[in-house]
Chain A
Amino acid sequence: MQAFAELLDRLVLTPQRNAKIRLMADYFRTAPDPDRGYALAAIAGTLDIATVKPALLRQLMLERMDPILFQYSYDYVGDLAETISLVWETVEPDEAEVADLSLGAVIHRLQSAGRGDVRGLVRDLLDRLDGSARYAFLKLVTGSMRIGVSARLVKQALADMGGVDASEIETLWHGLEPPYLSLFSWLEGHSERPALSMPAVFHAVMLATPVADGDLTNLDPQDYAAEWKWDGIRVQLANLDGTRRLYSRSGDDISAAFPDILEAVDFEGIIDGELLVGGTARTNRATRTFSDLQQRLNRKTVTRKTIEDYPAFVRGYDLLFSREGDMRPLPFSERRAALSGLIEAASPTHFDLSPLVSFSSWKEIDQLRIAPPDPVIEGIMLKRWDSPYQSGRAKGPWFKWKREPYNIDAVLMYAQRGHGKRSSYYSDFTFGVWTEVDGKQVLVPVGKAYFGFTDAELEILDRFVRNNTVERFGPVRSVRATADHGFVLEIAFEGINRSTRHKSGVAMRFPRIARLRADKLPRDADRLETLMAMIPAGTVEEMDGDLSS
C-alpha cells in the first residue's frame, strides 16, 4: 500500500506529463503483482469495489474523537478524506498478528466483504495503515481518486515500461481485467501477448497530421478524398458476436452514456465515426454544436429526458471490420464503399455518412475550408484513396486542415506563476476586453491562456508583469491595464459559447496567445460585443462544473 500511496502523492503534485509517465512506469516496474495491477485499475478507473459514503467515515471518526477538535481539523484541511487520514491515530498491532497491508490484500478484503462487514473492515484498515497509505485507502473507498491522470497517460506509462507502442495497449485494454497479470507478464517479456477473449475490443484509431506549409505542393489532388472534419468527438462503435461497445478515441468505454446508439446498432462490425447530437443528414435536421454534445459527455448514466433533448448519432467515417472480417488492409475507397452500404441500411436517426467533398485543386479545397457550409464543421480531412487503415499518426495518408481559428485582441489583466519548470515565471495569463458599465469603459476578463507563446515571448510577458504589478493576491498579480497603458495580446481560440459561470457571459474553447501585440494600445483591443457576435445562434449555455458528478 505504501508504494502506491507514495505514487499517488507524487502524481497529484507533478504537473509535467512526461514526469507523470516516468513515475508510473517506474512504479509498474518495481511493484509486485497483483498490487501493480490494482494500482493500474485504480488510476485508470476500472477498479470495481464497494464504495463507502462520507457519512460513514465521519461516524467512524467521531466514535473516537472530540467533535470540536475534528471540526477545527476539517475546517483547516478542507477535504474529509484527507482530514481523517491525518487525524486518525495509528494503532500499534499486537505482536502476534501481522496483517497483510499490501494493496492487493486490501482490495481483496474490500471485494470479499459483505454489506454488514464494511464498517468494521474500514475501521480496522484505518487503524493499521499509516499516514499517506490511509489517505490512499480513503480515496479508493470513496471512489474519488482525482489525481490528474487520464487513462491515456497511464497506457503510455505501460507502453514505456514494456517498450511497446501505446496503440498496442489500447487495443488490448478492454479485453483485460484487473489485476492485469497477463498484461504485465507480456510487458516484461515473460510471456506472449495476451490473447483477447472478447472480440468487440478497441482498435487504436488512425490519426491525421495537420497540413503545414508546402505539405500539399507535390501531392496530386486526384489521389485524395476530402470530407468535412466535424466538431464532435471521434468514436469507435463495435458490434461483434453480440457484444456492443462505444469507445472514445483514446479507448475509454463510453457505452453507458449512449444506450440510444447501442440499441440502434443493427449491423455487425466496427465503424469509426464522429459522435454528434442533433439530427442526421438523412432526417434532414441540423447537426448541433459541440456545447450541446457536452450535455451527453462524461456521464455514467443518462436520463430519458436528456436522450430526447440531446439525441446522439454517429456520422460514419470508416469501416474497420465488417461481418466478413478485417477491412483495415483494404484501400480507403473500398472501405468507404462498404461503409456506405452498411449505413444505408442502418437506423436513419442514429447513423449517417460523412459526405465527401468534391474538389479538383488544393486552392479550391482551401476556399471551402475557410468558409464551410455548416457551423459544426471545424475543417477538412484529406485521405488518400489507397490508404489502408493503420493505427497512429503516420504522415502522408491522412491530413487534417482546420479552418482558421477565431482571433481577438485582448488586454492582459492578471498573471499567475506557473508550475514546475515555469514556477519562476508568470506564465498563466488572464485577459479581458472592453465593455461599458454605468457609462464607463471597463475591462472584463474573458479567458485565460497559458500556452501559444515562445520562450522568448514568455520572458517579455514575465518582465512586463513584474514591472507593472498593481496588486498581488497570493501567486496572482494584477497588472496595469488602462486605455493607454498595458499589454495587448492576440488570442486565438477554436470556438465560443455563452456561459453563466463567467462574469463576461462568454467562454472560449482552447484559447491561446497567438501573438504579442506590442504595437497596439489597450484602447485598440476588442469589445465584448464583438465576442458576443461570434457565438453561433441557438446554442445552449455551457454546463457548470464537472459533468460526471
Chain B
Amino acid sequence: MKADSLLYPTPKGLYCEKGGFYIDPVQPVERALITHGHADHARAGHQAVLATRQTLEIMAVRYGEAFCQTPQEAPLGKEMRIGDVTVHFHPAGHVLGSAQIAVEAEGMRIVVSGDYKRRRDPTCLSFEPVPCDVFITEATFGLPVFHHPDDAEEVGKLLTSLKQFPERAHLVGAYALGKAQRVIMLLREAGYDAPIFIHGALARLCDYYQREGIDLGPLEPATITGRDKSAFAGRVVIGPPSAFADKWARRFPEPMAVFASGWMLVRQRARQRGVELPMVISDHCDWAELTATIAELRPGEVWVTHGREEALVRWCELEGIAARPLHLVGYDDEGE
C-alpha cells in the first residue's frame, strides 16, 4: 500500500486511518499512540492511550492518574494489532520511556521516531535502528551548524566554574523531564557528590526516575526555609529555564545563569537569553547524528518534521534519498 495512505498529517496530528489512531496528537482524540512524555507530545484528555510503561507512568506523574480513560502498555519490541495494522515500539534514546513507533500494513512499514538521539544517556535506553520503508525523523537540530560537543566536557565547564566562582549559586536551566535528570547523572559521573538543589517543578519527576532505579544521588529542595541564603553559594541549583527569569531566582546569592540546551551552541542565542555559562547538552540528534541515522537506515523515503525541515530535505536530495517535509504543527523546540 502507499505510505501516505497508511499515515498522514491532520490538524490533530499524524493519523492512521486503517488503525483508527493518532500518533502524539495535539488535541484530545479517541485513540492515541504516544512516543514519549514531553508535554507537547503527551497531552492529557485522550480516551485510550498506548505507550510504554514508563511513558504512561510519566503522564500519570504529570497529569494525575486520570490523564486518560484507558491506558494500555506497549512492551518494547512486541507486535500489536490495531484494526488492520500492526504496531511495535522500540527505544528512541530521547528520555526515559521514549520510543519509536513502527506502523505496518500490507508490506509497508513506517517508523515514527518521535524525538531521538544517538549518543549515550545514562537515564534511558539507547536508540534502536529499525529498518523501514519510510522513516519519519525529527529535525529540531536539523542544520549543519549543530555539532553537539561531548557532554562530559560541557559538564566539566560547570564544575570549573563552581571552583572559580565559589561565592555564586549556579542556576542550571534544564527541561524538567529528561534533561534535568541527565545533567544530574552527568554531574554524578564526573564525581560531583554534593547535594544538588532542585526546583519544585522537578521534584516528582526526579522521584520517579529514582524509583525506576536511576540513582540521582542526594537531591534537596531549593527552598530557603530554615536556611541561610549563603547555603547556595558555590552549589548547583537545577530548575526549569523559565524559573530563572522569575522572582524565584532572587533567593540565591549572585546567581550565575547556566542553561543546558542544544541551542546554547549558537552564541547569540545564549546572549539573548542572558545566559552566562551555556552547556551544550541536548536530548536530540545533532546534524551528524541525523544524517548518519538516515544513511544507516537507508529508508525508501524520509519524512521530516518539527524543526528545520528544509536543510535535512536538501541533504537527502543531495544523497539521492527521497524526502519531503511533513508539516506538523504544535511541537515545541527543545527547552524553549
A423 and B257 contacting across the interface, CB-CB below 8 Å? yes
Using Cβ atoms and an 8 Å threshold, which residues of chain B touch A87? 144-145
Q: How far is the CA of A12 from the CA of B278 in the complex (A)?
A: 11
Q: Does B197 make an interface contact (CB < 8 A)?
A: no
Q: How far is the CA of A76 from the CA of B272 in the complex (A)?
A: 14
Q: How far is the CA of A351 from the CA of B248 in the complex (A)?
A: 59
Using Cβ atoms and an 8 Å threshold, which residues of chain A touch B108? none
A86 and B277 contacting across the interface, CB-CB below 8 Å? no
Q: How far is the CA of A477 from the CA of B250 in the complex (A)?
A: 20
Which stretch in B4-12, B81-89, B210-218, B309-317 binds the other chain? B309-317
Residue of A nearest to B268 (CB): A78
A424 and B145 contacting across the interface, CB-CB below 8 Å? no
Which stretch in B96-104, B177-185, B188-196, B239-247 binds the other chain? B239-247
Q: Does A372 make an interface contact (CB < 8 A)?
A: no
B165 and A423 contacting across the interface, CB-CB below 8 Å? no
A86 and B146 contacting across the interface, CB-CB below 8 Å? yes
B314 and A424 contacting across the interface, CB-CB below 8 Å? no
Q: Does A417 make an interface contact (CB < 8 A)?
A: yes
Q: Does B270 make an interface contact (CB < 8 A)?
A: yes
Q: How far is the CA of A474 from the CA of B272 in the complex (A)?
A: 9
Using Cβ atoms and an 8 Å threshold, which residues of chain A touch B157? 6
Using Cβ atoms and an 8 Å threshold, which residues of chain A touch B149? 131
Q: How far is the CA of A199 from the CA of B246 in the complex (A)?
A: 56
CB-CB under 8 A for A10 and B268, given A23-B164, A83-B145, A423-B245: no
Q: B133-149 interface mask toward A, CB cutoff 8 Å, 1 = contact, 0 = none? A: 00000000001111101
Tell me the chain A residues, 43-67 only, with Cβ under 8 Å from chain B.
65-66
Q: Does A420 make an interface contact (CB < 8 A)?
A: yes
Which stretch in A13-21, A106-114, A217-225, A482-490 binds the other chain? A13-21
- In the complex, which of the residues B164, B246, B266, B274 contacts A420, with contact meaning CB atoms closer than 8 Å? B274
B165 and A19 contacting across the interface, CB-CB below 8 Å? yes
**B112 CB to nearest chain A CB (Å):** 25
**Total A-B contacts with CB atoms under 8 angstroms apart:** 96
Residue of B nearest to A463 (CB): B247
Using Cβ atoms and an 8 Å threshold, which residues of chain B touch A423? 244-245, 249, 255, 257, 274
Q: Does B199 make an interface contact (CB < 8 A)?
A: no
Tell me the chain B residues, 185-228 only, with Cβ under 8 Å from chain A.
none
Using Cβ atoms and an 8 Å threshold, which residues of chain B touch A66? 314-315, 318
**B204 CB to nearest chain A CB (Å):** 24
Residue of A nearest to B160 (CB): A6
A424 and B245 contacting across the interface, CB-CB below 8 Å? yes
**A106 CB to nearest chain B CB (Å):** 20
Tell me the chain B residues, 119-154 only, with Cβ under 8 Å from chain A.
143-147, 149
A424 and B249 contacting across the interface, CB-CB below 8 Å? yes
Q: Does A268 make an interface contact (CB < 8 A)?
A: no
A69 and B266 contacting across the interface, CB-CB below 8 Å? no
CB-CB under 8 A for A13 and B278, given A22-B164, A68-B314, A417-B245: yes
Q: Does A160 make an interface contact (CB < 8 A)?
A: no
Using Cβ atoms and an 8 Å threshold, which residues of chain A touch B248? 424
Q: How far is the CA of A83 from the CA of B276 in the complex (A)?
A: 21
Q: Does A164 make an interface contact (CB < 8 A)?
A: no
Q: Does A127 make an interface contact (CB < 8 A)?
A: no
Tell me the chain B residues, 287-310 only, with Cβ under 8 Å from chain A.
308, 310
CB-CB under 8 A for A79 and B245, given A10-B277, A65-B144, A73-B143: no
B257 and A22 contacting across the interface, CB-CB below 8 Å? no
Tell me the chain B residues, 255-289 only, with Cβ under 8 Å from chain A.
255-257, 265-268, 270-272, 274-278
Give the A interface residue count (CB, 8 A).
Answer: 37
Q: Does B57 make an interface contact (CB < 8 A)?
A: no
- In the complex, which of the residues A12, A72, A425 contacts B311, with contact meaning CB atoms closer than 8 Å? A72
Q: Does B334 make an interface contact (CB < 8 A)?
A: no
Residue of B nearest to A9 (CB): B267
Interface centre among A22, A65, A82, A86 (most CB of B within 10 A): A86
Q: How far is the CA of A23 from the CA of B168 in the complex (A)?
A: 14
B314 and A86 contacting across the interface, CB-CB below 8 Å? no
Residue of A nearest to B255 (CB): A421
Q: How far is the CA of A52 from the CA of B204 in the complex (A)?
A: 54
- In the complex, which of the residues A23, A69, A79 contacts B144, with contact meaning CB atoms closer than 8 Å? A69
Q: Does A336 make an interface contact (CB < 8 A)?
A: no
B314 and A76 contacting across the interface, CB-CB below 8 Å? no
Interface centre among A10, A79, A86, A424 (most CB of B within 10 A): A424
Residue of B nearest to A84 (CB): B145
CB-CB under 8 A for A420 and B144, given A9-B267, A12-B271: no
Q: How far is the CA of A424 from the CA of B274 in the complex (A)?
A: 10
Residue of A nearest to B144 (CB): A87
Using Cβ atoms and an 8 Å threshold, which residues of chain B touch A69? 144, 311, 314-315
- In the complex, which of the residues B147, B268, B308 contacts A72, with contact meaning CB atoms closer than 8 Å? B308
Q: How far is the CA of A65 from the CA of B315 in the complex (A)?
A: 11
A82 and B250 contacting across the interface, CB-CB below 8 Å? no
Q: How far is the CA of A138 from the CA of B68 in the complex (A)?
A: 54
Q: How far is the CA of A168 from the CA of B1 in the complex (A)?
A: 81
Using Cβ atoms and an 8 Å threshold, which residues of chain B touch A82? 266-268
CB-CB under 8 A for A131 and B144, given A12-B271, A423-B244: no
Q: How far is the CA of A194 from the CA of B264 in the complex (A)?
A: 43
Interface centre among A6, A12, A68, A76 (most CB of B within 10 A): A76
**B157 CB to nearest chain A CB (Å):** 7
Q: Does A494 make an interface contact (CB < 8 A)?
A: no
Using Cβ atoms and an 8 Å threshold, which residues of chain B touch A14? 276
A13 and B144 contacting across the interface, CB-CB below 8 Å? no
Q: How far is the CA of A423 from the CA of B271 in the complex (A)?
A: 12
Interface centre among B145, B157, B255 (most CB of A within 10 A): B145
Residue of A nearest to B142 (CB): A72
- In the complex, which of the residues A72, A83, A424 contacts B247, with contact meaning CB atoms closer than 8 Å? A424
Tell me the chain A residues, 437-478 only, with Cβ under 8 Å from chain B.
474-475
Residue of B nearest to A14 (CB): B276
Using Cβ atoms and an 8 Å threshold, which residues of chain A touch B244? 423-424
29 pairs, A vs B, C-beta closer than 8 Å = A6-B157, A9-B278, A12-B271, A13-B267, A13-B271, A13-B278, A15-B276, A68-B314, A69-B315, A73-B145, A76-B145, A76-B266, A76-B308, A78-B268, A82-B267, A86-B144, A87-B145, A131-B149, A417-B245, A418-B274, A419-B274, A420-B257, A420-B276, A421-B254, A424-B247, A424-B248, A425-B250, A475-B245, A475-B272
Enumerate the 7 nearest inter-chain pairs by beta-carbon distance, A residue then B residue, closest first.
A86-B145, A424-B249, A87-B144, A72-B311, A73-B145, A423-B274, A419-B274
4 further A-B pairs in the complex, CB-CB below 8 A; given A14-B276, A424-B250:
A66-B315, A86-B145, A423-B255, A424-B244
By a beta-carbon cutoff of 8 Å, the part of chain A in contact with chain B is 6, 9-10, 12-15, 19, 22-23, 26, 65-66, 68-70, 72-73, 76-79, 82-83, 86-87, 131, 417-421, 423-425, 474-475
